[in-house]
Chain A
């Protein structure tokens, strides 16, 4: 009898085998790409089916492996929560693996792709293992495998100093986070079964333990810090816009789309499953950090002109939106309002899936653009919609989805989050009732700014004229890349128009984690209407909006084309101005100028204009040089002091190292004396 956990384990084994053996094919790079990415696509599909099956049937299975450390075997467990994240990771890595067969071919002849292929498989396997792990040890091993694999993927094009620097920064933040997670598990394991033995290291032991509030808070804060560092929550986000853009685009899609989600998984697992009981201020803490991340992420994104960097900052924003849902769920749960907690939790988890889909799609689109133009800077692009019609249309779907516009998927989860916010009057603390709607307003600001940002991203990249100085040969991408993006785009649409079916499938999560089902009320008016609380309270039907717009569109189009007037193509009118050049278009910098001016106080902006005067008269400059630098204030506030302090410490400690053997012998001697004193 095959069970989901068998399928999931088989998929991991397949990925690990590919990881170990792919090197054998390194002489034939084209074959290597075909074989290993097909295998990883197949493995992802298997994991996806295991995940869908687990969530759909609501079963929980465990396996204890024979491998592991002596007396500490590895535990695996596939419950609906793990199954849900397995679905998210599996679905996107399936799309991305198909995409990679086309995308990675672009490196052929330029450099060896063996390292990319090998670590790609390990990376996906690591993510699967993280969600399946059921003890602290295996979780951390998987977590480190994932981090190490992604480090090598970020380093793939290591001839650029920029990439090496980004990868180093990523590694540092990932490890500081991992240490915090390790400490958190240590606290929980120790409290669960005493600090003398190792019995507490399984998640089962932690689930059964009762934690004193003070220690539970310590464990939560440590775990949240560690996972937040991975998820890129402000102010721990600085590595994210450095590391994600420099990785190959298929890897960026996975890192932004699903690797960040493993951190969300960790937060949900630790709070709702392991600690279970918590005071309301934990939720408020998560909520506030979520709101800050959402607003700051989108504002930073607006300032970017590097397409992939812009998308990376949007990941910060979307992680913030997910955390808003989770924070609300925590607040509602701590006040024992399970229905509301279910709504907020579903909103957060729904957005997790949505973000994986549209961010994956957008990074794949950005990869196609990069593949075709060899350019990441939007200021040098433009008019690509004529050369790359497929990529443009599919990228547009991603833009609409991420901007939370109906009838696509981003809107559904944001709408659910708004509904959760609007239920805050049921909270018993008056101050919170007052402040919660403010959070909703900031979420609205985030959505509107995201729309502005994606008008900019799409408009500057794909519309208008080509802005670059050189005019490369731009081509549409091949079928594998297109079909992967097409599938992701269709998923975005389906998640947008059929939310009730999806929520019905995943409602087991809210039942297990917060003790209430949402779907019972969500489908009260039939599968077409999403009515999370009650139909007279709020309702939304994505499919009616979609069909309605198409129907009216069709009717109007038909009426106007019964006897259509001619369409003449002519030169651009532009109020009669004739000498229009492509340099006169709005570009990314000028588009965001009004917003930069309004929200400028949040950034460190250096703007310089210098004129090179013509010899004849200063009023007629020959050349104008404009330079704009927008930097993260957090660098100066947090990271620079920390970096300076660690350099200072290492210089002081470095004095111990003198190169004289006598001194070193004294150090050893003193150490031995101290140890003897302690173990006396």
Chain B
């Protein structure tokens, strides 16, 4: 029973805190660039405003366009119930292992790309085409990084991986270091951050994710934005679970949940700082240089795999 309560707590935390994390990243970014920032709560205000507005729908939008925001939001929430953020004792964690998790993000992307093509504008198609191209290069690298971790742990189940890495017997393994570097590169790609995509841009030729959702408004846009924030939060949480699982509560120890929550806030907050350092230090890449970027990620993951077989 306690598992279900933790499950619900975790999902509520994801839905509730994701905008704050987004606000935190924006705030840090403003500071690092010497600007004064909006409040950390600004994303909540943006969402509230969008939800209260009417929807303007293009005259030829089909049901796919209206279906997508809800679907994208649902997959993000479902993913939040699977990733062990607070505890490994999650009834839903059997639902999906890491591979399924990657596929859950893929289905959200699939529909977002379709929605981008639904209206029939050049921007939408451009965004969809680029997004799918990037995804098809990122996914092998992502799975390679995941395979490295799961070979080292003998499992693809996230809860199990957390338990193995967190166990006192585990030591720092070189394969995990390589996999971690690869994961960081992929996480930047998947969440659409600099140097791959710029979440703040509305310049026509640099948009990727923004181009697909250009025609959205009102509550539809709010759901997509919120799901985007949740995705960013989730990737930080996956990184924390795979590579720094300290503090995550075990099964049968519900008392340590508050502590786990504290650890999680610290880890996610710190990952926000790292994210901003990367984003401030780099410029956005030209589209066709991304092959090198993602190739590097794939190479890192492969090196991790090789070092697993050779050294461990």
CA distance A592 to B128 in the complex (A): 10
B99 touches A418 (CB 8 A): yes
B106 and A405 within 8 A (CB): yes
Q: Which residues of B contact A594 (CB under 8 A)?
A: 129-130, 133, 287-288
Q: Is B39 in contact with chain A by the CB < 8 A criterion?
A: no
Bound complex: CA A594 to CA B126 (Å): 10
Q: Is the CB of B140 within 8 A of A553?
A: no
Flag if B157 contacts A567 (CB, 8 Å): no
Q: Which residues of A contact B73 (CB under 8 A)?
A: 552-553, 556
Interface residues on A, range: 35 or more
A403 at the interface (CB under 8 A from B): yes
Tell me the minimal C-beta distance from A580 to chain B in angstroms: 6
Q: Does A643 contact B (CB under 8 A)?
A: no
CB distance from A251 to the nearest CB of B (A): 29
Per the bound structure, the CA–CA distance linking A567 and B155 in Å amounts to 47
- Within the complex, the shortest CB–CB distance from A401 to chain B, in Å, comes to 11
Complex Cα distance, B306 from A465, in Å, reads 49
Instruction: Select the stretch in A118-126, A213-221, A539-547, A609-617 that faces chain B.
Output: A539-547
Distance (whole angstroms) from the CB of A73 to the closest CB of chain B: 50
* A553 touching B71 in the complex, CB below 8 Å, given contacts A459-B114, A545-B104, A568-B54: yes
Query: Which residue, A403, A465, A574, has most C-beta atoms of chain B within 10 A?
Result: A574
The contact of A459 among B107, B113, B218, B288, by CB within 8 Å, is B113
Least CB distance, A534 to chain B, in whole angstroms: 9
Report yes or no: A552 in contact with B219, Cβ–Cβ below 8 A: no
Interface members, chain A 423-478 (any B CB < 8 Å): 425, 430, 433-434, 437-438, 440-442, 444-445, 447-449, 451-452, 454-456, 458-460, 463-465
For A598, give the chain B residue with the smallest CB separation: B291
CB neighbours (8 Å) of B118 from chain A are 459, 463-464
Assess the B219–A541 pair: CB atoms within 8 A: no
Say whether A452 contacts B70, CB under 8 Å.
no
Distance between Cα atoms of A446 and B10 in the complex (Å): 34
Contact B94 A541 (CB under 8 A): yes
Best-surrounded residue of A382, A415, A441 (most CB of chain B within 10 A): A441
Residue B62, interface by CB 8 Å: yes
When A448-B106, A545-B96 are in contact, do A441 and B144 touch as well, CB less than 8 Å?
A: yes
User: Within the assembled complex, what's the spacing in Å between the Cα atoms of A569 and B215?
Assistant: 12
Residues 395-411 of A contacting B (Cβ, < 8 Å): 396, 400, 403-406, 411
* Contact yes or no, B54 A451, CB < 8 A: no
Contacts of A396 in B (CB 8 A): 64
Q: Are A570 and B97 CB-contacts (below 8 A) given A455-B117, A553-B70? A: no
Whole-angstrom distance between the Cβ of A495 and the nearest chain B Cβ:
16
In the complex, chain A residues whose CB is within 8 Å of the CB of B20: none
Task: Produce 1/0 per residue, B206-233, CB < 8 A to A.
Answer: 0000000011001100010000000000
With A430-B309, A463-B114 as contacts: A441 and B58 at CB distance below 8 Å: no
- The contact string, 1 if C-beta is below 8 Å from chain A, for chain B 123-166, is 11110111011011111111110010011001111001000000
Q: How far is the CA of A625 from the CA of B41 in the complex (A)?
A: 53
Whether the Cβ atoms of A386 and B106 lie closer than 8 Å is no
Contact with B along A509-527 (1 / 0, CB 8 A): 0000000000000000100
Partner of B223, one of A444, A449, A556, A593: A556
Choice from B51, B57, B92, B306 contacting A569 with Cβ under 8 Å: B57
Please tell me if A186 contacts chain B, counting CB pairs below 8 Å: no
Contact of A406 among B104, B114, B132, B155 (CB under 8 A): B104
In the complex, what residues of B have CB within 8 A of residue A56's CB? Answer: none
For B103, the chain A residues whose CB sits under 8 A away are: 404-406, 411, 415
A630 to chain B, nearest CB (A): 16
**Smallest CB gap from B211: residue in A:** A575
In the complex, are the beta carbons of B58 and A571 less than 8 A apart? Answer: yes
Question: How long is the Cα–Cα vector from A585 to B126 in the complex, in angstroms?
Answer: 9
- In the assembly, what is the distance between CA of A442 and CA of B140, in Å? 7
Contacting residues, chain A, for B107 (C-beta < 8 A): 400, 405-406
In the complex, the answer to whether B128 meets A591 with C-beta atoms within 8 Å is yes
- Chain A contact surface mostly: helix
Interface centre among A403, A404, A569, A582 (most CB of B within 10 A): A569
Min Cβ gap A102→B in Å is 24
Complex-state Cα separation, A490 to B71, whole angstroms: 20
Question: What CA separation (Å) do A611 and B12 show in the bound complex?
Answer: 59
Contact with B along A547-584 (1 / 0, CB 8 A): 01110110011001000111111111111000010101
CA distance A545 to B302 in the complex (A): 30
Within 8 Å of chain B (Cβ to Cβ): is A35?
no
Residue B110, interface by CB 8 Å? yes
B60 CB-CB contact with A under 8 Å: yes
| Across-interface contacts of B126 in A (CB, < 8 A) | 586
Say which residue of A425, A460, A531, A580 sits within 8 Å of B121 (CB atoms): A580
Chain B residues positioned under 8 Å from A595 (CB to CB) = 133, 136
Q: Judge whether A566 and B81 touch: CB under 8 Å.
A: no
Query: A590 interface residue, CB < 8 Å from B?
Result: yes
Q: Name the distance in Å between A321's Cβ and chain B's nearest Cβ.
A: 15
A423 to chain B, nearest CB (A): 10
Contact status A567-B214, CB under 8 Å: no
Whether the Cβ atoms of B96 and A552 lie closer than 8 Å is: no
A545 close to B130 (CB less than 8 A): no
Determine whether the beta carbon of B114 is less than 8 Å from that of A455.
yes
Which residues on B sit within 8 Å (CB–CB) of A405? 103, 106-107, 110
Taking a contact as CB atoms under 8 Å apart, the answer to whether A565 and B113 are in contact is no
Q: Is A680 an interface residue (CB 8 A)?
A: no
- A535 interface residue, CB < 8 Å from B? yes
Q: A565: which of B54, B71, B156 is its contact (CB, 8 Å)?
A: B54
Q: Does A597 contact B (CB under 8 A)?
A: yes
Q: Does A651 touch B at the CB level, under 8 Å? A: no
Q: Told that A434-B305, A567-B218 touch, could you supply 18 new A-B pairs with CB distance under 8 A? A: A403-B110, A406-B103, A418-B99, A437-B151, A441-B147, A445-B137, A445-B139, A451-B106, A452-B133, A459-B117, A525-B94, A539-B94, A539-B95, A573-B214, A574-B122, A575-B214, A586-B128, A594-B287
**Interface residues, chain B, with chain A CB atoms under 8 Å away:** 51-60, 62-64, 70-71, 73-75, 77-78, 81, 92, 94-97, 99-100, 103-104, 106-107, 109-110, 113-114, 116-126, 128-130, 132-133, 135-144, 147, 150-151, 154-157, 160, 204, 214-215, 218-219, 223, 287-288, 291, 298, 302, 305-306, 309
Between A and B, 8 residue pairs with Cβ closer than 8 Å are: A418-B99, A448-B136, A463-B114, A553-B70, A565-B51, A565-B53, A567-B218, A585-B117
A-B pairs, top 3 by smallest CB distance, nearest first, are: A586-B125, A464-B120, A459-B117
